[in-house]
């Protein structure tokens, strides 16, 4: 239903009744879109690339959230290299505006690499 409404294909998805590889059902649905694997010291650039296709669909995202009681997450998993001491982890105002308007949570999981 989400794929049809947004006219976008997810990176991965499943229904709450789908079975996990180890047997039991998920118990929750997932529609995962936008994966930016390009390294950029400015995490805000990765965030913008991830949501770029969704920005023009804010009204549809709002309808989906209201109709299906979904939660949105912008998950960012930057890899910071120890020799680079000045990473930027702050979202831009465009990202903040998008997240606020769609009620999207921002989750940043930081990995420090040698």
Q: Which of 22, 25, 109, 40 is nearest to 74 (CA)?
A: 109
* CB-count exposure of residue 57 (10 Å: 0-12, 13-18, 19+): middle
Beta-sheet pairing, 30-32 with 12-14: antiparallel
Instruction: Say which residue the tokens 């998950």 belong to.
Output: 75
Q: What is the pLDDT of residues 56-80, one digit of tens each?
A: 999 999 999 999 999 999 998 877 7
29 and 14 in contact (C-beta within 8 Å)? Answer: yes
Q: What is the pLDDT of residues 10-47, one digit of tens each?
A: 999 999 999 999 999 999 999 999 887 777 777 888 89
What mean pLDDT is reported for the chain?
Answer: 88
Instruction: Specify the pTM.
Output: 0.82
Would the pLDDT of 111 be above 90? no
Instruction: Say which residue the tokens 């979904």 belong to.
Output: 70
């Amino acid at each position: 239903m989400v794929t049809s409404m947004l006219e976008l294909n997810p990176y991965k998805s499943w229904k709450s009744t789908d079975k996990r590889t180890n047997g039991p059902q998920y118990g929750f649905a997932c529609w995962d879109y936008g994966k930016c694997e390009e390294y950029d010291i400015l995490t805000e650039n990765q965030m913008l690339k991830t949501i770029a296709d969704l920005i023009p669909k804010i009204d549809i995202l709002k309808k989906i959230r209201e109709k299906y009681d979904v939660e949105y997450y912008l998950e960012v998993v930057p890899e910071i290299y120890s020799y680079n001491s000045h990473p930027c982890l702050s979202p831009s105002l465009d990202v903040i505006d998008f997240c606020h308007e769609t009620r999207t949570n921002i989750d940043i999981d930081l990995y420090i690499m040698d």
